Amino acid sequence: MRVLIVEDEPNLGNQLRNTLEGAGYAVDLARDGEEGHFLGSTETYDAIILDLGLPEVDGLTVLDRWRKEGKATPVLVLTARDSWSDKVAGLDAGADDYVAKPFQTEELIARLRALIRRASGNASAELTAGDIRLDTRSGKVTRAGEPIKLTAQEYKLLSYLLHHKGKVVSRTELIEHIYDQDFDRDSNTIEVFVTRIRKKLGQDVITTIRGLGYSLDEPAETAS
């Protein structure tokens, strides 16, 4: 899952980026409203964290522009403390949720997870396919109850496929959702990650749809 943070306070922006990367997200960080608007319009994100008080273009204007452009990406706005008018204005402009500053990072991440889940039609924090489980809160993956260790990129890829279970996902789509902007994107690495995930979780986990991409369905229960 890939997230854009638009935040002009350097410390807060860096801290959020580090925390989210540690939680298994690909993250881009924009430092002002203009750059934020540009990235949100031209790149593909699963969710956006948008500060309202921003240099160049303010957050509400940025959000309003995205919505007028037809961008439906879930947006969580960061509002000034106790500013109910900020919250109302944010929601009216098309925000999906808000967190007031100062906030607990855990709360922000929990709300972000929920936004991403809802956008992909998943009600539970635990994503499953057959006996495969991925807990989006802890980042733990198991198959038939056995813990499976995945690298950060393998986790991102599996998480994206589980969020879109049963759908055919192209390589391009995977690349857009598991790498940040600065990453040297090479579509061949996707095949490498898929091969590694199959080695760790089982050959039946991800189906290659020739010429189209990959699909993760309900694999059969493993015999125990």
**Residues contributing to the site for Ca ion (CB under 5 A):** 8, 51, 53
Query: Shortest distance, CB of residue 101 to Ca ion, whole angstroms?
Result: 8
Kindly tell me which of 82 and 184 has the beta carbon lying closer to Ca ion: 82
Least distance (Å) between residue 221 CB and Ca ion: 50
Residue closer to Ca ion by CB (options 53, 130) is 53
Burial class (CB in 10 A: 0-12, 13-18, 19+), 142: middle
Question: C-beta of 211: minimal distance to Ca ion in Å?
Answer: 46
Q: Which residue is nearest to Ca ion (CB)?
A: 53
CA proximity to 189, closest of 199, 177, 175:
175
**Closer residue to Ca ion in complex, CB, 28/51:** 51
Q: Which of 53/94 has CB closer to Ca ion? A: 53
* Residues β-bridged to residue 26: 2
Q: Using the 8-state DSSP alphabet, how is residue 220 labeled?
A: P
Closest approach, Cβ 41 to Ca ion, in A, equals 20
- Backbone torsion region of residue 213, taken as left when φ is above 0, otherwise alpha when ψ lies between -120 and 50, otherwise beta: left
R_g of the chain computed on alpha carbons: 18
